Amino acid sequence: MYLNTHSYYSLRYGTMSPETLLKQAQQMGVSAMALTDINSTSARLDFVRLSEKYKLRPILGVDFRNGVQQRFVMLAENNHGFYRLNSYLSALLHADKFFVPERAPQLENTFVVYPFQREEFPLCENEFIGVRPADINQLKFSKWHAHQEKLVVLKTVSFLDKKAYNAHRLLRAIDNNTLLSKLPVTEQGEASDVMIPEMLLEDGVFHLDLLLRALLLYL
């Protein structure tokens, strides 16, 4: 299951419409997917409405970030959880200065996924560590390797293809008020943030050789 996907409602970052994202997911054999735009839930109505057309189970959430730095992904378990999530997001957006803390608040009917880091820290029952393809080698030598019940696949999807990734880089340059040639790597996503067949993410375990070949195919 994809737990971290972006539409163009991730302003000056994402490049896909909600329908393009859903169509791509259907082609990749995805049965359920979470839309987690960056600090936004604006695409929720289109996403939920169109998910029936593409026969996908929609999950709603938010990718909470400071700039492009991901703090955590929060997913709603049900309507009550989505209300709690939206209330928290609104409070952050209406603060004098927008800032997402390192740890998520404990909100009823929500799940939280933190990006992988080698340092171990206590997790609540509804909190997990998200492992990306690039994290696999580090995971082997991390203490998290002994807590696999707390590990989930966090394969980010932001772009349809290389052309869309190039458009993303232009958006990031505009957002940073800089030339494309001077855009820092830390201010842009990864070219590998494209969707691949869901079977390669089976049971939360990466089939690494197949995954690498698939990424090369879809870039």
- Neighbour tally for 37: CB within 10 Å: 24
Alpha-carbon 6 to chain mean position: 7
Instruction: Reply yes or no on whether the pLDDT at 212 is more than 70.
Output: no
Tens of pLDDT, residues 92-123: 999 999 999 999 999 999 999 999 987 888 99
Higher-scoring residue by pLDDT: 216, 27? 27
Instruction: Reply yes or no on whether the pLDDT at 16 is more than 50.
Output: yes
Rg (CA), the chain: 17
Instruction: Reply yes or no on whether the pLDDT at 199 is more than 90.
Output: no
* pLDDT score for 202: 59
Contact 2, 57 (CB under 8 A): no
Domains, in order of start, for the chain: 2-218 (3.20.20.140)
Q: What's the whole-number mean pLDDT along residues 1-5?
A: 93
Alpha-carbon distance of 129 to 148, in angstroms, equals 9
Measured CA distances, 201 to 4, 13, 23, 52 (Å):
13, 24, 19, 23
Instruction: Reply yes or no on whether the pLDDT at 5 is more than 60.
Output: yes
* pLDDT score for 117: 85
* pLDDT score for 120: 81
Closest CA to 169 of 195, 190, 194: 190
Tens of pLDDT, residues 49-82: 999 999 999 999 999 999 999 999 999 999 999 9
What share of the chain in percent tops pLDDT 90? 75
Instruction: Reply yes or no on whether the pLDDT at 218 is more than 70.
Output: no
**pLDDT interval class at 207 (50, 70, 90):** very low
* pLDDT score for 32: 92
* pLDDT score for 43: 97
Alpha-carbon 100 to chain mean position: 16
Contact 160, 17 (CB under 8 A): no
Q: Which residues pair with 5 in a beta bridge?
A: 35, 157
Contact 1, 152 (CB under 8 A): no
Tens of pLDDT, residues 119-174: 888 999 999 999 888 888 888 888 888 888 898 889 999 999 999 999 999 999 99
Tens of pLDDT, residues 179-195: 999 999 999 999 999 99
